[in-house]
Each structure stands twice: as structure tokens, then as C-alpha cells.
Amino acid sequence: MLNEEQLIGNGNGIVDCSRCGEKVSAPCFICVECCGFYLHKTCAEAPLELNHPFHRHHPLLLLQNPPYTFKPGTRCICDFCNETCEKFIYHCSCGLDFHIKCALFTFNIAERNLKELEHVALEDPSFSSKNDGGNLGKCFVCWEPLAMYTYFSLDCGFNLHKKCAELPPKMGHVCHRKHPLLLQFNSERLSCKICQVTPNRGLVYSCSTCNLAIHIDCLSPLPVIEDKSHQHPFTLFWRQIPFICDACGTEGHHVAYACCTCSIMVHKECISLPCIMQHAWHNHRVFHTYFIHKEYFRSLNCIWCYKVVDTEHGSYFCADCNVIFHVNCALKEKEWYCIVTQENEDDKSLDIPVNSITKVLERNDAGEATLIEHCKHKHYLMLSDKISEHGDKCCDGCLLLISAKFYHCLRCDFFLHKSCAELSKIELIFYHRCDEEHFAGLKPFILTSDCMFECELCTYLSNGFSYKCNECGIHRCVRCVFLQFEVKIPGHKHPLLFYYDYKGQCSGCGTDINKAYRCKDCNFGLCLYCVVRLTRVGHNCDDHPLKLTYHKINDYEKYHYCDICEEKRDPKYWFYHCETCDTSAHVDCVLGKYPLIKLGSTYNERDHPHPLTFAKKFPYYPKCVECGEPCEDLSLECAEPGCNYIVH
């Protein structure tokens, strides 16, 4: 065995222990053959089998390597410190794994052998030099923040509260009177009887007879809690029977906090619920309330899960829009909401729409604008409802076929649905995060045109109108910007609701999906791409517009073929059909690669002296001036007479 001077004298000032992998400090053991094998004294003396008081059912065995076959990206984690185990470990057949030092340190705590703590000064979180803005880390025993109590910070890297170093190994408690509770590792991964949360690491008080566990912190809650979210203090109230929390509307067990002034009873964790939040699922702020008068609402369904909200208990709501969340639904995904503090409660976001119609020149008797100037076109636009004259034209805003009332230009091939002409120049988008990990509030998107873009949501390439994020520059097509969480699909009698965490198969195209627009009443769900699929589209295979079809037209198998590619099609999934000509075709065969590129429209993003327009040169295919290959699909050609420039 070497002391520190001998280690340095051997020229081995910094070496790793061959058992635990950490830096060796004297005294230590070294191989007499000088092969580079070093052991801490404690690692060398570690027993091959450890009967641990915190794990009474089985011994912990010292192994050279973790006894698992790991998939890529997975690793063995110590059940005490939550760090990776790479060298020797103590292992139990029930699935517990510990570093050598973690197993021995907790063994010493259990045996009240606390010599390591005798010369360590207690840290007060209120005055500690290590308290960087209150972020001290967590106690290795109870996994609660160190900042809650005085604590020890050991050189070996362990931090623990003073109270956790002195926990009794056995105790009786009012919430479990049948048997004493023993301080143990949570080897069975039981959820806490009081708070219902499953602790992954650390110690719990458990009863093996009744198969239950309780967090250390849940056994000794504070008698009184004050929080700025409520004007009165909450007082601890032990209960033998379950209760319904007035703040969140879910069941609680044993530990309740009551405000006698307001006659409410809540979970401990619900005392500090945020009062106001901006949620990505709604464009206004939502406010926490303990009850709501039902007459305020047309619907009492949560906007996240679509289940009924009991307004006799807490919820988040927007009174302006009759939008309501269950508390747990609103808080379910941290990346989808941000808390609004009291300081910026009155800081209202810019939500005044700026109309893209810059000037109204004429109106009819009903007050409708019949002749307008528009910010995205250089000529006047006239209102019309004569679809029969322009039924094969598409809107330059959304790229869908013209329907209902629309504006058109008398001097060029430019059309806008009335609704697309009235779009605002700026939209505040509420379910967008730029490059941030968490939702940070509403983002201003600017109405743009005359460019080719890929929509962030539906991924279609388009040269119609888009809304562009002012910060990260991504685009969304106008159809996706105004897509609601509840939609009505032609051919299906019930509304479809958006489910964020649905897993299944799309009824329209058959692909596997993890988010869906789904019917609550029947087994029908659609992916986003099918929801925004073009319902009417023109194609050169038929003289009439083709309609997206959801039902079998004919049961005979010989009719289940695509009239474009002449391959079989699955009658379970959607297809395009013309009732007049009995033409049927695959969705992809009709739409092709660029269903939302308007042919003949201008493209301004290429280095060419003349304007370029989108074109498909069918049935002949001129050669691309860049690569010399035929332009068989979408191409750009020069609009200047006499210039033969054409490029993929």
C-alpha cells in the first residue's frame, strides 16, 4: 500500500482506480508488477457481498461489469446518485445498481457510521457561497432541493440535508397505522402513497407487507405554506380518506392544505400553480380559477383532451373565447406554455389586425367592397361570384380552386378568394417555438407572397401567400395558419378533434401517426396531410374537377385501379374521382410533386435579367439550359418574348 508521497515519487501523481474509475488518492493499493493497476483503499476492502440495511431482501453483489446487454444510447445508471456506472458495481437481481462509493456511503448512513460528516461544515442555503441564484442542486437522499434546509457538501461529491443524514431507520406514521415504515431503496419503483409520483432514485419509507412507499419529504410536510399566488396562507390538514383538490379537480391522498377563509382544500403542489399562462393551444392568456359559472360557456370540454371539465373545481380558462383547460392538461407539456408573471400581466401583445386591403374604391348596396386595391397586387381587383366563368382558376393566396365569392384582376390572371383578400398583414401565431426549447409566447408572422416556400406544418411547396416568422424565417401556408383544432371534413358526419398524443393509423392514407385529427364517436383519424388535402383539383386526365372521395364507388375489384398509372389502388383509402366520367386515381398520381405551385405565376428568386414563370411543358420537354436534361416536370421559363431560357 502506498501513501501520497510514494504515489508522487513513483511519478504517478494522477491515476484512476481500476474498480471505481475515479482519481486515486492516498492511501491506495498498487500492483507490485507495476502494470498500472491501482485501487482506493475503500475499493480494495469493499466486500464481494454487501447486506445493505436499506435493501433487506437480497444481498448486493460486487460485479466487474453491469450484467446487462445495452441497446445503443442506453447505459447503466446508479440508483443513488443517478450517474453512469462504467466500472465495478454493486448489483441486486431485483434491478438495483450502485457505484461502490454510493453503496458504501449509504451503508454508513444506515449504520449511523457518520465519520465522514464529522469534519464537514454545515452549509446554510441562505448564506452559502455556493448558492448561485438559489440553484444548489438536490439532496442525494430525498432528492428535494438543497436550498430547503441546511446541508452537508462532501468532497466525494455527495450533497445531503442534515435532516436526511439523521433519518430514523424505522417509524410509525398517521398515514399508515398498520405497520412501521422502513427506510429503503425504492427497488420496486412504487409510486408514493401520498403524492402518487413514482420516485426513480433515492430513499423512501416503505412497507413491504402492504407494498407501498412514501417520499421522505411527504412524511413531514410544512405545517403552513404561504404563496404569492393566493392571498391567504394554507394550513396542513391530514386526511384519512381521499379528497378532491379544489385547484386541479383530481384526487388527493392524506396530505391536504386548506384555506379556511376561502373554504378550499388543495394538493401541496397546487398551492403554487401559475395564476396566468400563455398556452400554445390558444391565442389569449388563460387564467386559473377555482370555479366557473356554467352560464359563461357554450362548451365545457377541455381544448386539450376534449373531455368534460368540472367547473366546480379548478381550471384554466379564457372568458373571452369560452376556452377551458383541465389544470393537468394545461400543464402536461412544459414546452407548450409560458407563465405570465404579475409584473407583465397588463403587457398586452399586439393583436390589432392590419387588413391587406389597402383601399376600397367601390361598395355595393350591402356594404361589400366590390373594387379594391390590395397590398399583394399592382392592379385593381373586382369582386365576383361567377364561378362558372372561372371555375378552373385557382386562388393566388391559398392555391385552391376558386369557389364562392372572389376578387379577380381584369388585366391579368390573378384571383383571390374574398377570405384570402381580407387576410391581415400580421398574424400572431400561438403554436410556434422558433428554435427555443420551450414555448415563449406569441410570435408575429408577416404576410408574404411572390416567393417559393415549404410550409413548416404540411411541408407542401407553394408559391401562394404565406405567413413568415419575423424571428426564424420559417413559412406557413395560409391554410395551416388558420387550421383549427376542430375541423369538419366533407364525407364524415362528425367533427374531427386534434389529439397531440394519439397513436394509430391514418384512415385517409394508411400511414402510422402519433398526432391526429380524430373523431370522438367512431374509429376515424386523419394525419395533418390528409386534413389539408385538396378536396377539388384539376388534372389533365379529366375535363372536370376531381373530388377527393372517402367512400367506395364500386365494390367490383376490377374498378379498383388508378386511371393515371393503371396500378391497383386500395379501396380503403382516399382517392380522387369524377362522377361524370367515372375517373378514379391515386391521390399522389393526381397531385404530383407540386400541387400548390400555380403555373404561369411569377418567380423572382433567380439571377436572370427577365421575369421567370412556373411552367410544365407537356407533351414536349425542352432541355434545361443548366444541365441539358429534358424539363419533364415543373420548370421555370422566361416570360420575355424571344428569350428561350428554361431551367428545372
Domain shared by 299 and 252, yes or no: no
- Residue after which a domain boundary falls, among 297, 321, 344: 344
Q: How far apart are CA 305 and CA 575, in angstroms?
A: 31
**Last residue of a domain, which of 344, 367, 382?**
344
List residues bridging with 372 in a β-sheet: 360, 381
Flag whether pLDDT at 11 surpasses 60: no
How far apart CA 161 and CA 140 sit, in angstroms, is: 8
Q: Is the pLDDT of residue 352 over 50?
A: yes
Identify whether 46 is part of a domain. Answer: no
pLDDT of 415: 92
Would 588 be classed as within a structural domain?
A: no
Give the lowest-confidence range in 190-199, 393-402, 436-445: 436-445
Region 212-221 average pLDDT: 84
What is the average pLDDT across 310-316? 92
Q: What domain range includes position 522?
A: 486-531
Same domain, 469 and 503: no
Cis peptide before 444 (omega within 30 of 0): no
**pLDDT grade, residue 385 (50/70/90)?**
confident
Tell me, letter by letter, the H, E, C secondary structure of 337-359: EEECCHHHCCCCCCCCCCECEEE
Percentage of residues of the chain with pLDDT beyond 90:
23
pLDDT score at 344 = 59
Domain CATH for 246: 3.30.60
Backbone dihedral region for residue 11 (phi beyond 0: left; psi -120 to 50: alpha; all else: beta): left
Same domain? For 476 and 494 the reply is: no
pLDDT band at 9 (very low <50, low <70, confident <90, very high): very low
pLDDT at position 134 is: 46
Q: Which residues contact 344 (CB under 8 A, 6 or more apart)?
A: none
Q: What is the pLDDT of residues 589-623, one digit of tens each?
A: 998 888 888 888 888 767 788 888 888 876 778 88
For residues 565-583, give the mean pLDDT.
90
Residue 4 has pLDDT above 50, yes or no: no
Tell me which residue has cell 371539465.
309
- Residue 346 pLDDT exceeds 80: no
pLDDT at 339 over 90: no
Whether 212 is in a domain gets the answer yes
What is the average pLDDT across 256-261? 92
pLDDT at 235: 93
Q: What is the mean pLDDT of residues 179-206?
A: 83
Instruction: Give the mean pLDDT of 432-446.
Output: 73
Task: Give the pLDDT score at 7.
Answer: 46
300 DSSP 8-state letter: -
Strands 635-638 and 646-647: antiparallel
* 435, pLDDT greater than 60: yes
Specify the range with the lowest mean pLDDT, choosing from 112-116, 126-130, 136-140: 126-130
Burial string for 583-620 (b: 16+ CB within 10 Å, else e) reads: bbbbbebbbeebbbbbeebebeeeeeeeebbbbbeeee
Res 406: pLDDT: 92
Please check the confidence at residue 205 and state whether its pLDDT lies above 80.
yes
> Quick one: average pLDDT of 539-565?
80
Q: Is the pLDDT of residue 217 over 60?
A: yes
Is the residue at 576 inside a domain?
Answer: no
The rounded distance, in Å, linking the Cα atoms of 426 and 470 is: 10
448, pLDDT greater than 80: yes
Mean pLDDT in residue range 510-522: 89
User: Is position 307 within any domain?
Assistant: yes
Report whether pLDDT(135) > 90: no
**pLDDT level of residue 447 (50, 70, 90 thresholds):** very high
**The model's pTM:** 0.70
Residues 324, 327, 331: CA angle, nearest 5 degrees: 110
Instruction: Give the lowest-confidence range in 184-198, 275-289, 327-341, 406-420.
Output: 184-198
8-state DSSP, 401: B
What integer is the mean pLDDT of 126-143? 61
Closest to 264 in 3D by CA, of 238, 287, 288, 290: 290
pLDDT at 390: 65
User: How confident is residue 350, by pLDDT bands cut at 50, 70 and 90?
Assistant: very low
- Inform me whether the pLDDT recorded for 5 exceeds 50: no
- Let me know how many helices (H) and strands (E) the chain has, helices first: 12, 48
In this predicted structure, what is the pLDDT of residue 379? 92
Within this chain, do residues 620 and 636 fall inside the same structural domain, yes or no? yes
- Name the band, by pLDDT with cuts 50, 70 and 90, for residue 253: confident
pLDDT at 189 over 50: yes
* Cβ–Cβ under 8 Å, residues 457 and 528: yes
Note whether residue 100 is domain-resident. no
Same-domain pairing of 494 and 526: yes
Given a cut of 70, is residue 295 above it in pLDDT? no
Report if residue 29 sits inside a domain: no
Q: Is the pLDDT of residue 366 over 60?
A: yes
Residue where one domain finishes, among candidates 531, 552, 567: 531
Q: At residue 417, does pLDDT exceed 80?
A: yes
Specify the higher pLDDT residue, 122 or 363.
363
Mean pLDDT of all residues in 382-400: 83
Residue 21 has pLDDT above 70, yes or no: yes
pLDDT > 70: percent of the chain: 87
Please tell me the distance from the alpha carbon of residue 443 to that of residue 353, in angstroms, as a whole number.
Answer: 14
Q: Please compute the mean of the pLDDT values over residues 53-58 and round it to a whole number.
A: 88
**Rounded to an integer, what distance in angstroms lies between the CA atom of residue 635 and that of residue 242?**
69
Structurally, the chain folds into a number of domains equal to 7
Question: What pLDDT score was predicted for residue 439?
Answer: 66
| Mean model confidence pLDDT for the chain | 83
Could you tell me if residue 105 is inside a domain?
A: no
Contacts of 301 (CB under 8 A, 6+ apart): 307, 308, 309, 324
- Residue 102's φ and ψ, nearest 5 degrees, are -70, -40
